[in-house]
Amino acid sequence: MFDRQIFLSKKSKYFIGLMLLLFIPAILVAFSIKDHDNFAFAQREISLRKIGHEVLLQSGDSTSRVLPIREIAENEYQIRFENEFTFQPDSLVNITGRLLSRDPLAHDYIVNVVNCGDASVAYGYAISKNKKGNMVSCLGRKQPTACYMINVKFKSPGINTAKSGYLLGGLPFLAFVGFMFLRSAKPKRDIPIGHHNSTYTIGTILFDANNHKLLINEQTVNLTGTESRLLLIFALSPNEIIDRSRLQKEIWEDEGVIVGRSLDMFISKLRKKLESDQTVKIQNIRGKGYKLSVNSEEL
How high is the pLDDT of residue 172?
Answer: 63
- Would you list the domain boundaries of the chain? 2-154, 199-294
How high is the pLDDT of residue 208?
Answer: 92
Phi and psi dihedrals of 92, rounded to 5? -60, -45
CB 90 within 8 A of CB 140: yes
Confidence of residue 83 (pLDDT cuts 50, 70, 90): very high
Q: Which of 5-9, 105-109, 111-115, 125-129 has the highest mean pLDDT?
A: 111-115
DSSP-assigned letter for residue 75: T
Confidence of residue 264 (pLDDT cuts 50, 70, 90): confident
Q: Is the pLDDT of residue 254 over 60?
A: no
Residue 236 to residue 238: CA distance in whole angstroms: 6
Topology (CATH level 3) of domain 199-294: Arc Repressor Mutant, subunit A (1.10.10)
| Percent of the chain scoring above 70 in pLDDT | 67
Confidence of residue 260 (pLDDT cuts 50, 70, 90): low
How high is the pLDDT of residue 263?
Answer: 84
How high is the pLDDT of residue 65?
Answer: 92
Q: What is the pLDDT of residues 135-160, one digit of tens each?
A: 777 676 788 999 999 999 988 765 54
> What average pLDDT score do residues 63-77 get?
90
| Percent of the chain scoring above 90 in pLDDT | 28
How high is the pLDDT of residue 2?
Answer: 39
CA distances from 42 to 34, 52, 76, 252 (A): 12, 16, 14, 54
> What average pLDDT score do residues 29-48 get?
66
Q: Hey, how many other C-beta atoms are within 10 angstroms of the C-beta on 294?
A: 21
Residue 47 to residue 41: CA distance in whole angstroms: 10
> What average pLDDT score do residues 194-217 get?
83
- Lowest mean per-residue pLDDT among 47-61, 86-100, 103-117, 251-265: 251-265
How high is the pLDDT of residue 46?
Answer: 87
Phi and psi dihedrals of 261, rounded to 5? -75, -15
Query: ∠ at Cα 46 (107, 79), nearest 5°?
Result: 85
